[in-house]
Amino acid sequence: MEKTIIIGGKAGAGIKEAGRMLAGVLANLGYHVFGYVDYPSLIRGGHNFVTLRFSEEPVNSVDRKADIIVATDGRSIRAHEEDAKEGTVWLINEKEQKEGAVKVPFKEVAPGFFKSSSVLGAVLKLLGIPLEEGLPFILSLPQREKNERIYREAYNSVDSMFEVKRAGERKGEIVTGNESVALGAVDGGLDFYIAYPMTPASPVLHYLAKRKSEFGIKVVHPENEIGVINMAVGVAYAGKRSMVGTSGGGFALMTETLSLIGMSETPIVIYEAQRAGPSTGVPTYTAQADLLFVTFAGHGDFPRVVVAPGTPEEAYLLMRDSLNIAWRYQVPVLILGDKHLGESYFLADIKREKVVEEPKLWKGNGEYRRYEITEDGISPLAFPGQEGIVVKGTSYEHDERGITVEDAKLVKRMQDKRLKKGETLREYILSREDAVVVGGNESSKKVIVTWGSTWGTALDVAKELGFKVVRPLFLEPFPADKLREEIGTAELVVSLECSASGQFERLLNMHGIKSHRNIRKYDGRPFFRDELAEMLGEV
Amino acid sequence: MEKTIIIGGKAGAGIKEAGRMLAGVLANLGYHVFGYVDYPSLIRGGHNFVTLRFSEEPVNSVDRKADIIVATDGRSIRAHEEDAKEGTVWLINEKEQKEGAVKVPFKEVAPGFFKSSSVLGAVLKLLGIPLEEGLPFILSLPQREKNERIYREAYNSVDSMFEVKRAGERKGEIVTGNESVALGAVDGGLDFYIAYPMTPASPVLHYLAKRKSEFGIKVVHPENEIGVINMAVGVAYAGKRSMVGTSGGGFALMTETLSLIGMSETPIVIYEAQRAGPSTGVPTYTAQADLLFVTFAGHGDFPRVVVAPGTPEEAYLLMRDSLNIAWRYQVPVLILGDKHLGESYFLADIKREKVVEEPKLWKGNGEYRRYEITEDGISPLAFPGQEGIVVKGTSYEHDERGITVEDAKLVKRMQDKRLKKGETLREYILSREDAVVVGGNESSKKVIVTWGSTWGTALDVAKELGFKVVRPLFLEPFPADKLREEIGTAELVVSLECSASGQFERLLNMHGIKSHRNIRKYDGRPFFRDELAEMLGEV
Amino acid sequence: MAVTKSLYTGAEITWCRLCGNFGLMSAFAWAVEELSDTIPLEKFVILSGIGCHGKIVDYIDLNSFYSIHGRAPATATGIKLANPELYPVCFVGDGDIYAEGVSHLIFSAKRNSDITVIVHDNRSYSLTTGQFTPTSPSIFKGKSTPEGPPEDPLNPIALMLEAGATFVARGYAGYTDHLKELVKQAILHKGFSFIDVLQPCVVFFNTYEFYNQHVYKLEDVGHDPTDYEQAYRRAKEWDYNSEDVKIPIGVFYKTEKPTYEERV
Amino acid sequence: MAVTKSLYTGAEITWCRLCGNFGLMSAFAWAVEELSDTIPLEKFVILSGIGCHGKIVDYIDLNSFYSIHGRAPATATGIKLANPELYPVCFVGDGDIYAEGVSHLIFSAKRNSDITVIVHDNRSYSLTTGQFTPTSPSIFKGKSTPEGPPEDPLNPIALMLEAGATFVARGYAGYTDHLKELVKQAILHKGFSFIDVLQPCVVFFNTYEFYNQHVYKLEDVGHDPTDYEQAYRRAKEWDYNSEDVKIPIGVFYKTEKPTYEERV
Ligand SMILES: Cc1ncc(C[n+]2csc(CCOP(=O)(O)OP(=O)(O)O)c2C)c(N)n1
Ligand SMILES: Cc1ncc(C[n+]2csc(CCOP(=O)(O)OP(=O)(O)O)c2C)c(N)n1
Ligand code: SF4
Ligand code: SF4
Ligand SMILES: [Mg+2]
Ligand SMILES: [Mg+2]
């Protein structure tokens, strides 16, 4: 059994909640499920929708065309006309008209939750799922009694048209990429999450702010992104792990300080969740067009890591690693996500474990030198407050103690130290097993090369179309050799990305990798499975 | 006759002025001359120096080792010991000791000009240049009488050791790259220069502020770089030509707005004068390590121009063009300079001429649409204030009128429009005769590929070592084909740049061009001629 | 639709029902209509930051620049410098201009740039779903500070007086006619004009009732807006936190000074 | 050398002879020495912006972070949050913190972050060779404004009072002993401490004579620093432009309030 369900309605009407609860029910029944969340930039009204696909097989993307369309208002009917196909079942609000549609009393009690209860009730019944499966979700809502009544009413108002049976053991939890990032950070030893609100990174701020006591962290919301990143620098200089989160425009404001981070060798993690630009663009939609900006941001030369998870499991693990990497190498680590990874509903099996590695600490006696020149380029860390030593961090070029230098030889000496550290870092990243991941038909001569969240859809079409999918997890340092190896003697290499100018393709080119074709999407939406299959069919 | 002269002394002691006056005298005598200016980040004291090289042949760089070293204080003697070679003549302050050195009464009347007068007097006499040649310069100084007395005294205190004769007609004026940028802007129709002080771009601000009435422009110094660039956007939206100037750290702060410029299609010129980073780095020294940052700065995809002059003539012309290009294509144009281009003394023959091209203006009737979709992607411009029309600029994705859209098809439509405009722009840039310039031994199979101000030194060694030098003037859109053509079937391709990580080499790679060797300098100093010759000798 | 047909672009209005932005937009549109004898429509340029407030430029069919978060006053200053015949009016948010862009606000006031800044002060980052802003009170439990803000609010009226603004007012989106008059005065004022508009956000901070009960008009108490000392004292009556005080609306202060455009 | 040997890094001091920064540095070093019974040296962290002022962190052998232009208070807040036992002291410039970084200054005050900010207010961007800053007077003819600034100066004392600073003072680099006392009080004050230090720049704005003639001490006139109204009136005595008035130095205002670190 595999089905795609669209649930549409007004913002504030509980559409996202309905989708998430339904995903939860399906997950409990042992299904794989993926949910795409689509909403415009407004608070009440307009049109939101969630597309869920579920199956006994793994699913990592949705189709455009749905088997079931739940339209909780009239606008949703019009909005999804073109997402219907032959045999699509429509559940519509009882006040609306549509031929052949099933009518449901979607309760109009705004805001939110009541409507999501009626959606869940109606859909579960339609799918032939027992009423009890939905109850735990309904009962965890505020105003549970009212919601339960509405849920039951909706359930009873519909006839079953499908028979969705238990599909085995539960495979994991429903999570978003943002939640996985947040958990990874906590388990990587995060002390301070510092952020200014910006879609689609804000959910991390909200998630952590709500649970800060539970997690034993501090969450800070300063005056602007420049305050954010410079505060984070202060925290790290003082010896605590800090991380910031933002999207492209906010990241832009941090780039002056990114260079400071490089120079002062401060360990900082930056989560950059991309959205559709340029500029304010289409702020609640997705894109992969900050890649080159993030990879090369900041004036001057300094080492950095850019890592792009493609799944929530990776988001968790790479985020956790990022904090350790930042501290091990005293570099900025940039986690490049996007709205699609951050806000979609994934079924994921994340095994949480705290992994907080001790960085190279100064254990010496006598004079401490913050920028001591060492063989691997990494200077031992110490923090202000320790008796008898002085810790001098700086934005200027400096000597080993951290005092400004301008002399040519001394300038070169410290640049060389940082280059050396960059080499040490590069060796580590390139030696990682997961620097490049592969999927699909692994022996195929047709290869899709992609990155980040586009992985999901690529994977879902690869099998049926006989493609191998190759994806670097790290964009900088770039695992070019590994990637080349995986591409091997492919006859067709297709690069796939959500960027109008083909930024990923250009990065591949920079590293000597050529694709025969580049498929680009740049309308703010991720690749849909049926759409991508068609595009690849034409290749 | 070819000589290299170093003049050293305290900041505030008129060292730069002395160097510039001497360059002026040599230029008047028909010599080619180039002056490198070296100063640390302080106001009084420390050690500044100017290195001048002059010759009957064109000179575009200096040697490290000097024929004459003028040390106006004790520190200068020590600082330049290693710049001496066999036969170097030292002019030192009469109070200091050095074997074989000529003693001069460098007057200690701080600040500034008096010392520069004594330096000029002593050096002219040493070179065997008549006293009268220096007088016009001395007489244009403040306190001319005092300066003249000091000048004459110093002149008379030294014996001539060289015979620098007139070398023909005067070939041009002594200018800096920054002055050329300023003049180019004025002649490209600049209305507003808006800047926040930052070395090495500040001289443009000072130069234009001083002459704003003469040039008929406004010069504005706002609260910070973010204010600067957003003010410039307002000026351009209202129909006047604006330009901003800054260095890497200030540019970083402008990158959020750069993306706005791309989205709103506002014509803006940004002069980015690079200095040695990362971060505050070595702020009064040079580098070419903002290349990839500037080329890819800003979130999302949008067309831009990055142009890098290598000479003051180019700085003038490209700056003038930049304003016209920005307005023709409604894009940001980034002039990427550096401290070496901006502050060195060049002999240049700049033929000034105002060239202000009319952009594509709206001549229509009826409803104006700011983002009208046209064949070449360029929408006709109109400005607020015109009766009967409404001009809507925006940071959001938009329809033709400039009203926010979020619908997938409409988003793609406007992205496609900008892509189309980018194509139109690319065609123009790539068709320019000067997209790539060449020099040196043009038929050689050994090719140096370089960019920006490094051109000068490359050119000066190319001839003697039998290299051809190839240089793209435009870095984005990148003239890859032309460059490849010029490299042809070279047996040795050496890329040459002032970046520790080889940013230019990476950009070449991105465009499919490989160098066999990459020579990098990153100690804040430009390549010196003798030094580069040695490095290339080793290749 | 809160604007008359001739001023309405026809774009879908996506503010929540009963949002204070409707009242604010009506007041502005009304002011523009009443001013249109003196100021032709094409001489207006409206600008905005990013937030619920910003959408106003999509709705009103005047020249506009939909700027980025926090930067509208800088852009407006550029516009006025380039063409002094234009009347730039910035619609900005409290998150937008008291947090992200506070430097531009302060310097616009300091310079006495001849522009108008109207703050949709809903005391919430609303479009990003409700975090605390510099004017949120202690009782505001936002998504980034579920236990309330760890800092006290700013008083933007007093701050603007201090920064040198030559026209300083507070309006209330619930009193459209009163606000309309303020807007007219602000636009006609030569020099930097500032209006902090109390704008209820029905979703994240519904303050209609509170303001209805607490607001009073400065005109009604014989306030003399030419007196800086008085203005300052009135500004200090409410600190954006207390709930048991009266809140003055109207023109706090008005004076004449050469503008930035004249001096640059 | 303006600091005692034990606090001096040995780095070459590149300030101009007679620069006001020497007096300021002496006062600070002296204060640190006097405080070292209560506050061990390793608990100090000094930070700076970029400018002539910033060089102080190279000269004083204490923990330090040489920040970037305008951002030191944000970094200091992070340091204090991460380790409340430390005493962050920011040395910033008037260009640095009243222009580029004014947002961080205002919000540090608003938050009552327990850090100290000492402004080297030479009323000039000096390291960039002399442009006007937010406190330059009309008579200052800088390189970017050869005819004088096209805007009037800010009054940082009044601005900080308004923003919520809980310790607000003005010092004079020419009166080292007086300044030393202010610095000690500022560091010991729990909450955000601000000192605007009148710092003559002998190259771009030599104000020694002017300050010597015009400065008076608040202590000498019985000023009560716990009284906000009085503080505000004293703050307004000099507008950073007039030349014919007396200039108060000393502590304008001091109060107690929970700190940001306690509330976050
Ligand atoms: C640089 C930057 N940071 C963050 C954002 C995200 N953002 C969009 S709207 C907004 C909040 C706006 O709040 P406010 O100005 O009060 O407007 P309101 O929605 O309340 O009208 C923020 C933070 C952004 N667009 N740009
Ligand atoms: C983002 C940024 N913009 C500009 C500069 C250039 N800059 C360096 S020092 C300085 C002036 C500092 O003036 P002030 O803070 O008053 O310090 P002073 O030199 O007077 O002590 C400026 C603008 C910079 N370093 N960073
Ligand atoms: S969220 Fe608040 S401010 Fe935004 S439209 Fe709705 S009511 Fe208005
Ligand atoms: S330029 Fe001015 S502030 Fe800078 S060191 Fe010299 S006197 Fe001091
Ligand atoms: Mg708001
Ligand atoms: Mg200063």
Provide the shortest C-alpha distance from residue C153 to chain D (in Å).
8
* Number of residues that this document lists for chain D: 264
Residue pLDDT, tens place only, C208-242: 999 999 999 999 999 999 999 999 999 999 999 99
Residue pLDDT, tens place only, A384-402: 999 999 999 999 999 999 9
What pLDDT, on a 0 to 100 scale, did the predictor assign at position A366?
87
Q: Angle at the Cα of C6 (from C1 to C12), degrees rounded to 5?
A: 35
What residues have CB less than 8 Å from B433, skipping those under 6 apart? none
Ligand 1 close to Cβ of residue C55 (< 6 A):
no
User: CA-based Rg of chain C, rounded to a whole angstrom?
Assistant: 17
Residue pLDDT, tens place only, A17-39: 999 999 999 999 999 999 999 99
What is the distance between the alpha carbons of residues A153 and A81, in angstroms, rounded to a whole number? 27
- How many other CB atoms are found less than 10 A from the CB of residue C5? 8
* Number of residues that this document lists for chain B: 539
Query: Which residue type sits at A260?
Result: L
DSSP letter (8 states) at residue A281: B
Residue D166 is assigned to a structural domain of this protein? yes
* Residue in B with minimal Cα distance to D142: B206
DSSP letter (8 states) at residue B341: H
- How many other CB atoms are found less than 10 A from the CB of residue A470? 28
CA distances (Å), A34 to each of A59, A408, C241, in order?
6, 57, 45
Inter-chain touch D110–C134, beta carbons under 8 Å: yes
Site to substitute for ligand 4 among D48, D143, D204, most atoms within 8 A of C-beta: D204
DSSP letter (8 states) at residue B234: H
Beta strands in B56-152 (DSSP E): 66-71, 84-93, 102-104
Strand, coil or helix: A476? strand
What pLDDT, on a 0 to 100 scale, did the predictor assign at position A539?
74
- Dihedrals phi, psi of A150, to nearest 5 degrees: -65, -40
Ligand 1 close to Cβ of residue A254 (< 6 A):
no
Q: Which residues 235-294 of A are in CB contact (within 8 Å) with B?
A: 247-253, 255-256, 258-260, 262-264, 274, 276-285, 287, 289-290, 292-293
Domain assignment of residue C183, given as a range: 14-263
Ligand 3 close to Cβ of residue C126 (< 6 A):
yes
What is the distance between the alpha carbons of residues B409 and B396, in angstroms, rounded to a whole number? 15
Check if C134 contacts A (Cβ < 8 Å): yes
Atom of ligand 3 nearest to the CA of A44: 6
Query: Which residue type sits at C1?
Result: M
Instruction: Please name the residue whose Cα sits nearest to atom 5 of ligand 4.
Output: D15
Burial A145-181 (b: 16+ CB within 10 A, else e): eebbebbbbbbebbeeebebeebeeeeeebbbbbbbb
Q: Which residues pair with D195 in a beta bridge?
A: D118, D169
Q: Which of A363, A456, A379, A457 lies closest to A418, judged by CA?
A: A379
- Pairing relation of β-strands D116-121 and D167-172? unpaired
C131 alpha carbon to ligand 3 midpoint, in Å? 13
pTM: 0.98
Helix, strand, coil percentages in chain C from 3-state DSSP, rounded to 5: 40, 20, 40
Distance from chain centroid for Cα B260:
26
Beta strands in A350-491 (DSSP E): 392-394, 436-440, 446-450, 468-472, 474-476
For residue C5, pLDDT beyond 80: no
DSSP letter (8 states) at residue A395: S
Domain chopping of chain B, boundaries: 2-171, 174-348, 433-538
- Pairing relation of β-strands D167-172 and D247-254? antiparallel
What pLDDT, on a 0 to 100 scale, did the predictor assign at position D1?
41
Q: Which of A417, A323, A410, A414 lies closest to A376, judged by CA?
A: A417
Instruction: Tell me which chain A residues have a C-beta less than 8 angstroms from the C-beta of C199.
Output: none
Ligand with an atom nearest the CA of residue A396: 2
Check if A391 contacts D (Cβ < 8 Å): yes
The CATH number that domain A433-538 falls under is 3.40.50.920
Q: Per-residue confidence at A189, pLDDT binned at 50, 70, 90?
A: very high
Inter-chain touch D42–A388, beta carbons under 8 Å: yes
User: CA-based Rg of chain B, rounded to a whole angstrom?
Assistant: 25
Residue C4 is assigned to a structural domain of this protein? no
User: Integer distance in angstroms from the first to the last C-alpha of chain B?
Assistant: 29
Query: Which residue type sits at B351?
Result: K
Inter-chain touch C128–A199, beta carbons under 8 Å: yes
Instruction: Tell me which chain A residues have a C-beta less than 8 angstroms from the C-beta of B522.
Output: 301, 411-412, 415
Residue C259 is assigned to a structural domain of this protein? yes
What pLDDT, on a 0 to 100 scale, did the predictor assign at position A110?
43
For residue C1, pLDDT beyond 50: no
Architecture of domain B2-171: 3-Layer(aba) Sandwich (3.40)
What is the distance between the alpha carbons of residues B20 and A539, in angstroms, rounded to a whole number? 63
Q: Give chain D's mean pLDDT.
A: 97
C121 alpha carbon to ligand 6 midpoint, in Å? 34
What pLDDT, on a 0 to 100 scale, did the predictor assign at position D157?
98
Burial C109-132 (b: 16+ CB within 10 A, else e): bbbbbbbbbbbbbbbbbbbbbbbb
Instruction: Please name the residue whose Cα sits nearest to atom 13 of ligand 2.
Output: D125
Residue C95 is assigned to a structural domain of this protein? yes
C12, C66, C69, C204, best to mutate vs chain A, most A CBs in 10 Å:
C69
Q: Give chain A's mean pLDDT.
A: 96
Percent of chain D with pLDDT over 90: 98
Check if A501 contacts B (Cβ < 8 Å): yes
Helix, strand, coil percentages in chain A from 3-state DSSP, rounded to 5: 40, 25, 40
Residue C6 is assigned to a structural domain of this protein? no
Instruction: Please name the residue whose Cα sits nearest to atom 3 of ligand 4.
Output: D201
CA distances (Å), A327 to each of A215, A240, A331, B224, in order?
20, 10, 7, 32
Instruction: Tell me which chain D residues have a C-beta less than 8 angstroms from the C-beta of B111.
Output: 203
Q: Which residues 11-30 of C are in CB contact (within 8 Å) with B?
A: 11
What pLDDT, on a 0 to 100 scale, did the predictor assign at position D3?
60
Residue C185 is assigned to a structural domain of this protein? yes
What is the distance between the alpha carbons of residues B154 and B109, in angstroms, rounded to a whole number? 14
Q: How crowded is the C-beta side of A84, counted as CA atoms within 13 Å?
A: 18
Strand, coil or helix: C167? strand
A17, A42, A43, best to mutate vs chain C, most C CBs in 10 Å:
A43
Average pLDDT over residues D141-149: 97
Those residues of chain D whose CB sits closer than 8 Å to some CB in chain C are: 99, 102-103, 106-107, 110-112, 134, 150-152, 154-155, 158-159, 162-164, 260, 263-264
Residue D9 is assigned to a structural domain of this protein? no
Using CB atoms, which chains have 3+ pairs under 8 A with B?
Answer: A, C, D
What residues have CB less than 8 Å from C208, skipping those under 6 apart? C20, C174, C200, C202
What is the distance between the alpha carbons of residues B237 and B239, in angstroms, rounded to a whole number? 5
- How many other CB atoms are found less than 10 A from the CB of residue B65? 20
C102, C134, C164: residue with CB nearest D152: C164
- How many other CB atoms are found less than 10 A from the CB of residue B422? 21
- Dihedrals phi, psi of C134, to nearest 5 degrees: -65, -15
What's chain D look like in SS3?
A: CCCCHHHECCCCCCCCCCCHHHHHHHHHHHHHHHHCCCCCHHHEEEEECCCCHHHHHHHECCEEEECCCCCHHHHHHHHHHHCCCCEEEEEEEHHHHHHHCHHHHHHHHHHCCCCEEEEEECCCECCCCCECCCCCCCCCCCCCCCCCCCCCCCCHHHHHHHHCCCEEEEEECCCHHHHHHHHHHHHHCCCCEEEEEECCECCCECCHHHHHHHEEEHHHHCCCCCCHHHHHHHHCCCCCCCCCCCEEEEEEEECCCCCHHHHC
Strand, coil or helix: B476? strand
Residue with tokens 């070679």: B85
C128 alpha carbon to ligand 5 midpoint, in Å? 9
DSSP letter (8 states) at residue A443: T
Q: Which of B207, B167, B161 lies closest to B186, judged by CA?
A: B207
Tokens standing for A378?
């990494």
Q: What is the ipTM of this complex?
A: 0.98
Number of domains chain D is built from: 1
Percent of chain A with pLDDT over 90: 94
Instruction: Please name the residue whose Cα sits nearest to atom 7 of ligand 1.
Output: A198
CATH of the domain at C85: 3.40.50.970
What pLDDT, on a 0 to 100 scale, did the predictor assign at position C171?
98
Helix axes D156-163, D228-235, angle to 10 degrees: 150
**Fold classified for B174-348:** Rossmann fold (3.40.50)
Instruction: Tell me which chain B residues have a C-beta less than 8 angstroms from the C-beta of C62.
Output: 390
User: Integer distance in angstroms from the first to the last C-alpha of chain C?
Assistant: 41
Same fold, B2-171 and B433-538: no
Instruction: Please name the residue whose Cα sits nearest to atom 10 of ligand 1.
Output: C51
Atom of ligand 3 nearest to the CA of C15: 5
Tokens standing for B424?
């139109």
Residue pLDDT, tens place only, A111-162: 556 789 999 999 999 999 999 999 999 999 988 898 999 999 999 999 999 9
B411 alpha carbon to ligand 1 midpoint, in Å? 21
- Pairing relation of β-strands A474-476 and A305-307? antiparallel
Q: How crowded is the C-beta side of B274, counted as CA atoms within 13 Å?
A: 37
What is the distance between the alpha carbons of residues A389 and D65, in angstroms, rounded to a whole number? 14
Average pLDDT over residues A277-291: 98
Provide the shortest C-alpha distance from residue C64 to chain B (in Å).
5
Pocket of ligand 4 (CB under 6 A): B 43-44; D 15-16, 19, 21, 52, 122, 126, 201-204
A–B CB contacts, 8 A cutoff, strictly below: 226
Ligand 3 close to Cβ of residue C203 (< 6 A):
yes
Inter-chain touch C100–A196, beta carbons under 8 Å: yes
Residue D1 is assigned to a structural domain of this protein? no
Inter-chain touch C143–A46, beta carbons under 8 Å: no
What pLDDT, on a 0 to 100 scale, did the predictor assign at position A340?
98
* Residue in D with minimal Cα distance to B209: D144
For residue C4, pLDDT beyond 70: no
Query: Which residue type sits at C180?
Result: K
For residues B467, B35, B502 and B325, what is the CA-based torsion angle, rounded to 10 degrees? -90
Tokens standing for A427?
């060796």
Q: In chain B, how long is the greatest CA-to-CA distance?
A: 84
Q: For chain B, which ranges sit under pLDDT 50? A: 110
CA distances (Å), B370 to each of A366, B100, C65, in order?
67, 73, 11
A272 alpha carbon to ligand 6 midpoint, in Å? 35
Q: How crowded is the C-beta side of A275, counted as CA atoms within 13 Å?
A: 27
What is the distance between the alpha carbons of residues C179 and B235, in angstroms, rounded to a whole number? 30
